[in-house]
A = this chain, B = another copy of it.
């Protein structure tokens, strides 16, 4: 079948961080209302709504979330669906909006992601993170940081990736977050800060880990042939991929790569007719410093094993060969789990509009990579300036 081209005509985001007094539904509505206003689209033109969210039931006792947000937004009787795939929930929401518009089932679709994490008890947050894990491994005591620590140690062992290279990811992303008003952390850190921070799960220290965050982000998607009715600078979505990986570590075929990312990226590159070298700016899923190194290899930006040296050589800085996470990424901007995928797309769209606070000069093609759980699910989207 012939798929239609899809464009982003509006974007919105709350700040990421501790949003006291803002409910989950309120945050989702704030981001969506900003996206709708940015698009200048009358709400009765919106034909469907997808909401990415991970663990609202455990964290804030709310389900039936998409109809609640759609109702508060005044979207009428349109289908409103929550999609869940752990930390990749919002990437999945984008993909489903793309499917409806690309196939012609809808002309305009609203997508959003939202998560409220800082109002929960430690027990609730622990339960939410545990919910993403495979039961046997969680019961054996494996945490998220523990899993990524295992990947980290194996990557160091196989490729000689260094503790310093990992730290440089955090230093870069914290630096990138400084001009981003949406970022949770906005100050420089030093190598000593990282290396002397508290050990979380060897080799990962506190500054190797993303924070716990609240936040929401949203996009309005539209058939490209109608996009100029609404947007001066529509941004086309030219590639979309979603894949499932290994659920548990004890069966994974690699401890230095995420199969779901590799497959989702393959789908997105194939659809776009592009190769990794064509990408100008990347927002990828740096839930831990080692995740950024692995992701950058899985996305084909560097050869497997070369992600560490690439950071050390400055290739991933703004101004480098392939800037990664100029927004600050999850490490500095924050990681409201179910919102992150839409937050990444928000940042990439701002780059391709030439409006970003940490602008990559001349960026024409951008990529957003979302990873769920310990590699169980991934989405990749490729965006193009029009």
Chain A interface (Cβ < 8 Å from any Cβ of B): 1, 23, 54-58, 61-68, 70-72, 75-86, 92, 95-96, 99-100, 103-105, 127-128, 130-132, 134-135, 242-247, 259-260, 263, 372-373, 376-377
A61 CB contact (under 8 Å) in B83, B130, B242: B130
5 contacts between A and B (CB under 8 A): A57-B58, A57-B128, A57-B131, A66-B84, A79-B244
A67 CB contact (under 8 Å) in B63, B80, B247, B263: B247
Find the B residue at minimum CB distance from A84.
Answer: B82
How many monomers of this chain does the complex have?
A: 2
Give Cα A246–Cα B79 distance, bound, in whole angstroms: 13
Given known A1-B104, A83-B81, A103-B103, contact A63–B54 (CB-CB < 8 A): yes
Q: How far is the CB of A304 from chain B (nearest CB, A)?
A: 18
Find the B residue at minimum CB distance from A251.
Answer: B71
Contacts of A83 in B (CB 8 A): 81-84
A64, B376: Cβ atoms under 8 Å? yes
B244, A78: Cβ atoms under 8 Å? yes
B85, A82: Cβ atoms under 8 Å? yes
A63 CB contact (under 8 Å) in B71, B81, B131: B131
Contacts of A377 in B (CB 8 A): 64, 67, 80
A373 CB contact (under 8 Å) in B67, B75, B135: B67
Give Cα A78–Cα B377 distance, bound, in whole angstroms: 10
A86, B64: Cβ atoms under 8 Å? yes
Q: How far is the CB of A373 from chain B (nearest CB, A)?
A: 5
Q: How far is the CB of A340 from chain B (nearest CB, A)?
A: 14
Give Cα A86–Cα B57 distance, bound, in whole angstroms: 11
Contacts of A64 in B (CB 8 A): 84-86, 131-132, 247, 372-373, 376-377
A79 CB contact (under 8 Å) in B54, B58, B67, B243: B243
B92, A103: Cβ atoms under 8 Å? no
Contacts of A72 in B (CB 8 A): 247
Find the B residue at minimum CB distance from A66.
Answer: B85
A77, B132: Cβ atoms under 8 Å? no
Give Cα A376–Cα B82 distance, bound, in whole angstroms: 13
